[in-house]
Amino acid sequence: MSNSPPAPDELILLPPLRAQRGPRGGLVLTRKYMAGVAQFARHWPGPVTSLVRISRTATTDMDHEEFLPGEAETALELRPEDEAALAGRLAAAAVVLAFLERGEARTLELCGRIGVPVVFVSEYSPRTERQILAAEVANPLLRLRRLVWLWRTERIRRSMLARAAALQCSGTPAYEAYRGFCRDTLLFFDNRVRRDDVIDDSGLAARARVLGEGRPLRLVFGGRLIAMKGVLDLPAVAERLARAGVPFTLDIFGSGPLAGALASRIAALGLSDRVALRGVLDFETGWIPHLRRNADLFVCCHPQGDPSSTYPEVMSCGVPIAGYGNEAFRGVVEASGAGWVVPVFDAAALARRIAALDRDRAAIVEAARRARDFAARHAFETTFAARAAHLLRHSRLPPDLKERARVA
């Protein structure tokens, strides 16, 4: 009988998002993140644990939930700040999944010393990061300093990729930017809509009937009301549609620091009879059903290439997207064959495109079908199964456990 210790079989995640302490003393994280980790666990043959850091500042995300020990489907622990303690905790990992950021360079070195493979996740290309910086930082001197910091960060990241076991890229911008620097790079489209919730043919047919009746176009936007989402361009698009005589309504869902400015702009342009701020809906019980039943077209003014999960999630409801041609949205349109792209910051061009679609509603119907088909290929379960298989391939799990997990 062998007395050797069991082989490490844990999947350890080091997410970039930080937790807050909840009123019950638990950890507050987004339901979106925890649902994704739980889906990993359905394909992983051992424990799955997230090691998180604490922050006193809440994020702008809209789906926070507090988790006490034992309440989540997977383990949730505070990340050790001491390097020796972190090494001891990561020694149980068959593979570590970490975000591609310069702060994890030391973690990569540590894992190299203890023989633990690291797979990185990337969401933003260098160009997208510069676009986000431009949207959020007005001071030119501060912007220049941060651009220098980004340039140095990029050199560190490329060095990290050369030593990583693999890379997973959310969206085409990061994939195109980094696939040449890592030995095995997986492209995925982040999506929290499950296969059973993707709109079916009867739902698409009902949408087509409504569009054929000539009713006002039901336009929609949903997301954080922040600068990097371009939300203050939405009233400009709506105002041009109104001037052109296009019959429409625009419902804006979400919350964030720009809600007040957005409401003021809507009122100042005399759009309150057709543009409304609707607040936040629960993702599964409110947002997704609303999209399936009450929306014809999603209006997207994102000026930068954030690989927003909004794209496939909206498309899963058979709602095509007309939006600014940032690199992430262009990648989705090219991959799906659905959607309409106009130049970034060109609200007039976006309004003209929507007006043309109002006159050609058959084009919306066809794009809705293509959008649904693309989203179905990248449904929540399918996406996380592919990511888990990628992690298994690069883990130090014994071959029999890898095969068992692959077959399951």
Sign of CA dihedral 199, 204, 206, 210: positive
Domain that holds residue 252: 196-377
Residues 184 and 226 in one domain: no
Domain count, the chain: 2
Average per-residue pLDDT for the chain: 93
Q: How confident is the model at residue 304 (pLDDT cuts 50, 70, 90)?
A: confident
DSSP letters, 183-195, are SSEEEE------G
What is the pLDDT at residue 307? Answer: 82
What is the pLDDT at residue 308? Answer: 85
Residues 173 and 318 in one domain: no
Residues 294 and 363 in one domain: yes
Residues 167 and 212 in one domain: no
Contact 10, 352 (CB under 8 A): no
Q: How confident is the model at residue 144 (pLDDT cuts 50, 70, 90)?
A: very high
**23: pLDDT strictly greater than 60:** yes
Residues 51 and 64 in one domain: yes
Q: What is the pLDDT of residues 245-275, one digit of tens each?
A: 999 999 999 999 999 999 999 999 999 999 9
Looking up residue 56, the CATH number of its domain turns out to be 3.40.50
Q: How confident is the model at residue 399 (pLDDT cuts 50, 70, 90)?
A: confident
| Spatial separation of the C-alpha atoms in residues 172 and 24, rounded to whole Å | 40
- In this prediction, residues 115-131 reach a mean pLDDT of 93
Only one residue has tokens 């982040």, namely: 190
Predicted structure pTM score = 0.91
Does 2 reside within a domain? no
Residues 175 and 242 in one domain: no
What is the pLDDT at residue 1? Answer: 40
Does 3 reside within a domain? no
Q: How confident is the model at residue 61 (pLDDT cuts 50, 70, 90)?
A: low
* Least trusted range by pLDDT, from 6-10, 22-26, 271-275, 293-297: 6-10
Looking up residue 263, the CATH number of its domain turns out to be 3.40.50.2000
Does 5 reside within a domain? no
Residues 44 and 169 in one domain: yes
Only one residue has tokens 């609707």, namely: 278
Residues 107 and 213 in one domain: no
What is the pLDDT at residue 64? Answer: 85
**407: pLDDT strictly greater than 60:** no
Residues 321 and 390 in one domain: no
DSSP letters, 238-289, are HHHHHHTT--EEEEEE--STTHHHHHHHHHHTT-TTTEEEEE---IIIIIHH
Residues 311 and 250 in one domain: yes
Q: Which of 243-271 are b and which e, b meaning 16 or more Cβ less than 10 Å from the residue's Cβ?
A: eeebebbbbbbbbbebbeebbebbeeeeb
Q: Cα 251–201–330 angle (5° rounding)?
A: 55
C-alpha distances (whole Å) from 388 to each of 11, 218, 297, 408 are 10, 38, 33, 12
Residues 21 and 133 in one domain: yes
Q: How confident is the model at residue 4 (pLDDT cuts 50, 70, 90)?
A: low
**3: pLDDT strictly greater than 60:** no
Does 349 reside within a domain? yes
**62: pLDDT strictly greater than 70:** no
Residues 169 and 205 in one domain: no
Q: What is the pLDDT of residues 311-366, one digit of tens each?
A: 999 999 999 999 999 999 999 999 999 999 999 999 999 999 999 999 999 999 99
What is the pLDDT at residue 353? Answer: 98
The CA-based dihedral angle spanning residues 365, 368, 369, 372, taken in that order and rounded to the nearest 10 degrees? -170
